[in-house]
Structure 1
Amino acid sequence: MRGIVDRIVAPFVVDRRVLALAGARMADGIGNSFLIIVIPLYVTSGVVDGTTFGLDESMLIGVILSLFGFLNSSCQPFTGQLSDRLGRRKPFILVGLAGLALTNVAYVVAETYVSLLVIRGLQGVSVAFIVPASIALVNELATAGDRGGNMGVYNTFRLVGFGAGPAMAGAVVSRGPYALPGGLAVDGFEAAFYVATITATISYVMVTVLVSDPASTVANAGADLSVPVFDRSGPTLLDPIFTLGVASLFMATAIAMFATIQPQVNARLEQGATWFGLQFAAFIIAQVALQTPIGRACDRYGRRPFIVAGMALLIPTTLVQGFLFSSSLMFVARLFQGVAAAMVFAPSLALAGDLAGEGESGSKLSVLTMAFGYGIAVGPLSSGALVGFGFEMPFLFGTALAVIGTGLVYTQVEETLETTGSLPVVGSE
């Protein structure tokens, strides 16, 4: 029995602070992804009123949800750079989690569209404090030999939370109202907002008790925190971190286009919402299953092969979705699209972490997280605009981005690890 347990936990044997941080991000991910389902239901429930700025409900929902992504991504470079200058990560994570907890409970008293916009915007800013500091902390607690594995574990837990939230949210809302002691009751929406608040609070407590900044972070607070576009000293034209950021933007855009065109997908494949939910979840399933093993593998075999192969796999898995007429084949295509993303994400963060100097992790790695966030926001807008020209057009656009991204990482990104036997070392050191 002990041998079985050891094999199960072996992939997650990392610094306890990384594991605690990953667990905390899983908890807040559950609560934050709750809102992706709950907010549209809340807007259309009749509880909210006030000015709609001339927008219909569907467009207003899109603005509210997109505002989070754009503010989150736009603020990440600033919070990442500030955490580098101060040489502190934990306080930024705590500020962000506290902001999430407060804004989650604020939804209970939000009764106008304007208040929803303000609250969701503040949540985007709050998460911008969490993401760069968390990734930087994982990077600084890792070494060249286990950086990919640490990034993989962190992303696996975060994605589990993100995937579990939407699955739970609908049930929480639909089963309300809930009776409380003393004759009190809360409806389904209030219960969902309270659940999101509790998960953020749990994360806050976990980080407070179990996570600490390494001494080297304070000692090596960065001075030059710029991220150049061009590689001024290396053999390539573009800076590799900037290149990985562009590739992450293209990858996220190609992946996120699927969500907006649910009616068109269901009509083309003659399927219901259940099949679409499975196809949407297939991407996350692949990510959860593969982030950690791919992260471990890139520590042994190098970062670049996985990134290039993942971007190349993104090309056919995106293109084929525009020409399928089978629900099961669409599920398979989305699953392999998730495999492609898993091959890119953790190795890219690990490679950028290899290149980041002491005290620069927040600034450098926020380029990738910011770019990915922008892609998640841009993808749905792109597909919504392009699908009117034909069902295949969003996927052709995503394929073109994948082709460009593959070319960029193949020509502009070099390996950072050199292997001596089975021992990987940072090649630039």
Structure 2
Amino acid sequence: MRRVVERGLAPFAVDRRVLALAGARMADGIGNSFLIIVIPLYVTSGIVSGTAFGLGESMITGVILSVFGFLNSSFQPFTGRLSDRLGRRKPFILVGLAGLAVTNIAYVVAETYVSLLVIRGLQGVSVAFIIPSSVALVNELATTDDRGGNMGVYNTFRLVGFGAGPAVAGAVVSRGPYALPGGMSVTGFAAAFYIATITATVSYVLVTVLVSDPESTVANAGADLSIPILDRSGSTLLDPIFTLGVASLFMATAIALFATIQPDVNARLEQGSTWFGLQFAAFIIAQVALQTPIGRACDRYGRRPFIVTGMVLLIPTTLVQGFVLSSVLMFVARLFQGIAAAMVFAPSLALAGDLAGEGESGSKLSVLTMAFGYGIAIGPLSSGALVGFGFRVPFVFGTVLAVFGAILVYTQVEETLESTASVPVVGSD
């Protein structure tokens, strides 16, 4: 029988450990997102040499950046399951943050394509220790009454960090070298790598001092950690957590199509890089603004209505990007696509958290985080391959995925909160 949780409408509260963890993720997010901007500049700076495996600079840059996402997503189920087995979250988070700090400083001496590839790959593995354990810890520190809100707060802080890094990374590099006491100086690239190292170290200290594992996690270590594909209760065909993972994969692929086709977007809309930056940021702005209020709302009105409505809204907001001819309209489309994603992400994590038993959060929630990571990696590769067939083709592809995702969550995902207030949204029962 699928677990349905009955709950009241207690005032929203955030555990101080969730706030500390959110702050730590914001700090490491700043440093990690720094590298998204800095690494391509570093590769094309003339500093990097050695074998590029016969690939051009742009292609090897894409490989270096994408290896992070693929390794990160591939290792998440293993680290999530292991943290469940051991009944510990904090040590996994600390291992990941330590790995980030060490690999960030390693960029200072990395001057070959192979070394950059190895370092970025190790960073992907390091973050695979952080994400499932962090989300599982938030889930276990929250209650049914405030799980969505806590997930929203955590994601909001993380996204603030992710959005802030690229905003200043280019300036840090371009304004170098920087003079130091004693007549020494550091290049702009070295300064950026040092900043990334410092942010990871700050995160490590915050988690060490302010975050602890709840006793229930240790007590329930080693529970049933299997991830079924078919629904064991028989009420639907597919397991709801698996279904949410597939929907997250489709959603992430659709929203990531935009990132790698900047020249095509700018040429079609006859705009400069400033407009593209604003359009790219519009998605993150919507996420930052809405993650927490939507998370809190899904604690009151239920998870499923928001997830279904978000997936439905993803369909037109993805498709229209392939047809608009105005920079302003593209900005609006990206903004509403961000709203759609915000309606899906925190409620999906909350619903999966409702269904996860004691000691299973790492395994169950890693299905969603892994799927989202794969989508973020697949999206840019898909748009790069498909845009050659026409500007609209990548967005039509993303729209088809969004349609399938909406159908899946509408037919295969049931509400986990027994008593919910009435809210007139698509897919509510």
Residue 244 (structure 2) pairs with residue 244 (structure 1): yes
**Does the CA contact (< 8 Å) of 1:67 and 1:120 recur in 2?**
yes
Residue 272 (structure 2) pairs with residue 272 (structure 1): yes
1:200-215 matched pairs, under 5 angstroms: 200-215=200-215
Partner of 1:92: 92
Greater displacement, 92-101 / 12-21: 12-21
CA distance in structure 1 between the aligned counterparts of 2:388 and 2:187, rounded to whole angstroms = 39
Partner of 1:58: 58
Partner of 2:163: 163
2:285 alignment partner AA: I
What's the offset of the Cα at 1:418?
A: 1.3
What TM-score do the two structures reach when normalised by structure 2?
A: 0.95
> How many residue pairs were aligned?
412
Residue 345 (structure 2) pairs with residue 345 (structure 1): yes
CA distance in structure 2 between the aligned counterparts of 1:246 and 1:63, rounded to whole angstroms = 24
Residue 16 (structure 2) pairs with residue 16 (structure 1): yes
Partner of 1:234: 234
CA distance in structure 2 between the aligned counterparts of 1:116 and 1:323, rounded to whole angstroms = 38
Structure 1: stretches of 5+ with no match in the other structure: 1-10, 423-429
Residue 26 (structure 2) pairs with residue 31 (structure 1): no
**Does the CA contact (< 8 Å) of 1:76 and 1:128 recur in 2?**
yes
What TM-score do the two structures reach when normalised by structure 1?
A: 0.95
1:60 alignment partner AA: I
Matched position secondary structure for 2:237: coil
Q: Please, what is the CA RMSD of the aligned residues?
A: 1.1
Residue 378 (structure 2) pairs with residue 378 (structure 1): yes
**Does the CA contact (< 8 Å) of 1:12 and 1:153 recur in 2?**
no
- Deviation string 1:141-185 (CA, Å, 9 cap, x unpaired) is 001000000000000000000000000100100110001111110
Q: 1:87 to 1:175 in 2, by over 3 A?
A: same
- Deviation string 1:85-115 (CA, Å, 9 cap, x unpaired) is 0000000000000000000000000011000
1:45 alignment partner AA: S
2:86 alignment partner AA: L
Partner of 1:366: 366
Partner of 1:396: 396
1:307 alignment partner AA: I
Partner of 2:298: 298
Shift >3 Å, 4+ stretches:
none
Residue 176 (structure 2) pairs with residue 153 (structure 1): no
1:154 alignment partner AA: Y
**Does the CA contact (< 8 Å) of 1:174 and 1:188 recur in 2?**
yes
Partner of 1:315: 315
Partner of 2:69: 69
Residue 108 (structure 2) pairs with residue 108 (structure 1): yes
What's the offset of the Cα at 1:12?
A: 8.7
Task: Kindly indicate which of the two structures has a greater share of residues assigned to helix.
Answer: 1
What's the offset of the Cα at 1:198?
A: 0.1
Q: Percent same amino acid at aligned positions?
A: 88
CA distance in structure 1 between the aligned counterparts of 2:240 and 2:151, rounded to whole angstroms = 18
What's the offset of the Cα at 1:222?
A: 3.0
What's the offset of the Cα at 1:233?
A: 1.5
- Deviation string 1:245-279 (CA, Å, 9 cap, x unpaired) is 00000000000000111100000000000000000
2:211 alignment partner AA: V
Structure 2: stretches of 5+ with no match in the other structure: 1-10, 423-429
Partner of 1:7: none
CA distance in structure 2 between the aligned counterparts of 1:318 and 1:20, rounded to whole angstroms = 35
Q: 1:131 to 1:230 in 2, by over 3 A?
A: same
Q: 1:51 to 1:247 in 2, by over 3 A?
A: same
CA distance in structure 2 between the aligned counterparts of 1:279 and 1:341, rounded to whole angstroms = 15
Matched position secondary structure for 2:419: strand
**Does the CA contact (< 8 Å) of 1:280 and 1:334 recur in 2?**
yes
CA distance in structure 2 between the aligned counterparts of 1:294 and 1:353, rounded to whole angstroms = 16
Q: 1:420 to 1:162 in 2, by over 3 A?
A: closer
What's the offset of the Cα at 1:45?
A: 0.2
1:21 alignment partner AA: L
Partner of 1:6: none
Q: 1:12 to 1:175 in 2, by over 3 A?
A: farther
